[in-house]
Amino acid sequence: MNSPLALLSLIVALPLFGVFFALTSKDDADKPGRNAFNVCVFTLLANIVLIWRIFMILDEESGSLQLIERFRWLANPEINIMFGVDTFSLLLILAVHLSVLAGLAGVRRNIVKQKSLMVFTLLFLSMATGFFVAADIFSFYIFFEAMLIPLFMIVGIFGEVKKQGTVYRFFLYNFLGAIILFSAVMLIYHMHGSVTLEEIAGLKWTRRLDVYIWGAVFLAFLSRIPVWPFHFWISSVCAGLRNPLAFIVTALLPLTGIYGFIRFLPEPVPFPLNVFVDWISIIGIVTMLFIALIGFINKDSQYKIFSYITVYYILYLLGAFSGDEMVLLNIGFSLFSFMLIFSSLETLLTHILRKEEQEDIRSSGFLCKTKRLSFACSYLTIAAVGMPLSAIFINNFFILSKLLASNVKMGMVLIFSLVMVGCTLLQELFRLKTDNPACRADRNDDISFPVFAFFIFIMFILLMSFINPLWFVIDE
């Protein structure tokens, strides 16, 4: 199916137009960056409407990429930019947009370098969208690396705590990943020319090249995923950020690694890939347990959210290794809810932490005085731990059953890690809800009504996604 109106290019380009408008927006003296913020929100909303429109014309049952768009970039060597989308990738694009929107709700009142933040966020959004709609290996590689530029700037500008070390680690891991993937892409191009993502899984090489190319691809994707020891850069970035939008954008990065695995990995996994997969599975399980335990004892709320994110990302990674189409579909649905949940939780928690720092109030007991926050945090936490308030509940059931089928012992460790991170989040919720006389928060510290209304909307989406993950799609 070809795309009418080049919709895919439009959803990649629209944030770039937004960048232009944000850059040229006038700064009000009393509200610096407000116009840029509005541009960002409107661009996002416009893109969400377009994504919704794409859902309408997409064949949900088809497993292959649709709405193909092809643009000639270079004639010799022949390099094209090719876009295509399926339900899975479009769902992730929508989730990224909604997550960023949740992050924007948390930086509404930010006045420090707001314009830069908006510009780089829009740039990131454009690159991330480009990454998810990329249909050939070059487009994939370009957007895979291009999204690091705005991210690097965001972390550099808003990395607040231990900025230098954070940026150094960020650069080190991602730069290595980029070089490794570049070499693999070059080799693939050298052997087979410009290939589409759907063809990669079927490509044949010599044994030695197989080991090298797949090893490089695996390492490049792993550098984005918080699997030991790659978790360290993400943990240090996430723990240092006090800007919810920067945190959310950074925490979306592992998604690109998982998506890469899903797009690249052949089914069934041939030799020698299965050796890699086995090793990564073992390391992934150990990392899950390790991060879950650290999150349990760590007192930093940001780290707790990070541990939750990590454990779930690894769960999705392990599910992706199964290669089962049913599991992949469930991963898509579950990821959608997961991203909405963690970005909303992060925004709300940052609000509390910021109030704690600004007004010197104890965050313990904060939710006793702030009803809107309390309701939103309770709902999102209970949904986050896997209760039937979002699609995570049912979809994780399928993912876990598949993982338990492959190895019950590893599956039990995995479930133990899920229980641990669940307890970690609940522990944090109750810390915030336990009445504390030292907490001087009052009703004025609550989130505003528009922000609350937005989170009610997010909760509504989550609840509806539990009933039907594609409830918003009206078939034409």
Interface positions with another protein (CB under 8 A): 60-61, 168-169, 172, 228-229, 232, 235, 290, 293-298, 326, 329-330, 333, 382, 385-389, 393-394, 397-398, 400-402, 404-405, 408, 411-412, 415, 418-420, 422-423, 426, 430, 433-435, 466-470
Residue 140 Cβ, how far from another protein at the closest point, in Å?
26
Minimum distance from residue 352 beta carbon to another protein (Å): 17
Closest distance to another protein from the beta carbon of 90 (Å): 14
Q: Which is nearer to another protein, 351 or 402 (CB)?
A: 402
Question: Is the distance from CB of 6 to CB of 87 less than 8 angstroms?
Answer: no
For helices 325-359 and 244-251, the axis angle rounded to 10 degrees is 160
State the nearest-atom distance from the C-beta of 361 to another protein, in Å: 18
Select 16 or 368, whichever has its Cβ closest to another protein: 368
Q: CB of residue 169 vs another protein: minimum separation in angstroms?
A: 7
In the complex, minimum distance from the CB of residue 223 to another protein, in angstroms, rounded to a whole number: 13
- In the complex with another protein, the residue whose CB is nearer, 24 or 468, is 468
Shortest spacing between CB 91 and another protein, in angstroms? 11
Shortest distance, position 400 Cβ to another protein, whole Å: 5
Length of the chain counted residue by residue: 476
Cβ 115 to another protein shortest distance, Å: 33
d(CA 133, CA 9) in angstroms, rounded, equals: 9
Q: What are phi and psi of 72, to 5 degrees?
A: -75, 125
Q: Which CB, 205 or 393, lies closer to another protein?
A: 393
Q: Is the CB of 47 or the CB of 89 nearer to another protein?
A: 89
Nearer to another protein, 137 or 383 (CB): 383
Closest CB to another protein among residues 2, 468: 468
Cβ nearer to another protein, comparing 170 with 264: 170
Phi, psi of 233 (to 5 degrees): -70, -40
Amino acid identity for residue 188 in this structure? I
CB nearer another protein, residue 116 or residue 407: 407
Instruction: Please choose, from the candidates 316, 322, 347, the residue with its C-alpha nearest in 3D space to the C-alpha of residue 334.
Output: 316
- The span from the CA of 83 to the CA of 196, in Å, is 10
Q: Name the residue among 155, 133, 451, 424 with its Cα closest to residue 300.
A: 424
Q: Smallest distance, Å, CB 294 to another protein?
A: 5
Nearest CB to another protein, comparing residues 15 and 240: 240
Question: Angle 301-322/253-264 helices, nearest 10 degrees?
Answer: 10
| Minimum distance from residue 38 beta carbon to another protein (Å) | 35
With respect to another protein, which residue has the nearer C-beta, 82 or 420?
420
Q: Residue 167 Cβ, how far from another protein at the closest point, in Å?
A: 13
SS (H, E, C) the chain: CECHHHHHHHHHHHHHHHHHHHHHCCCCCCCCCHHHHHHHHHHHHHHHHHHHHHHHHCCCCCCCCEEEEEEEEECCCCEEEEEEECHHHHHHHHHHHHHHHHHHHHCCCCCCCHHHHHHHHHHHHHHHHHHHHECEHHHHHHHHHHCHHHHHHHHHHHCCCCHHHHHHHHHHHHHHHHHHHHHHHHHHHHHHCCCEHHHHCCCCCCHHHHHHHHHHHHHHHHCCCCCCCCHHHHHHHHHHCCCHHHHHHHHCHHHHHHHHHHHHCCCCCCCCHHHHHHHHHHHHHHHHHHHHHHHHHCCCHHHHHHHHHHHHHHHHHHHHHHCCHHHHHHHHHHHHHHHHHHHHHHHHHHHHHHHHHHHCCCCCCHHHCCHHHHHHHHHHHHHHCCCCCCCHHHHHHHHHHHHHHHCHHHHHHHHHHHHHHHHHHHHHHHHHHCCCCCCCCCHHHCCCHHHHHHHHHHHHHHHHHHHCCCCCCCCC
Measured from the CB atom, the residue of 5 and 408 that comes closer to another protein is 408
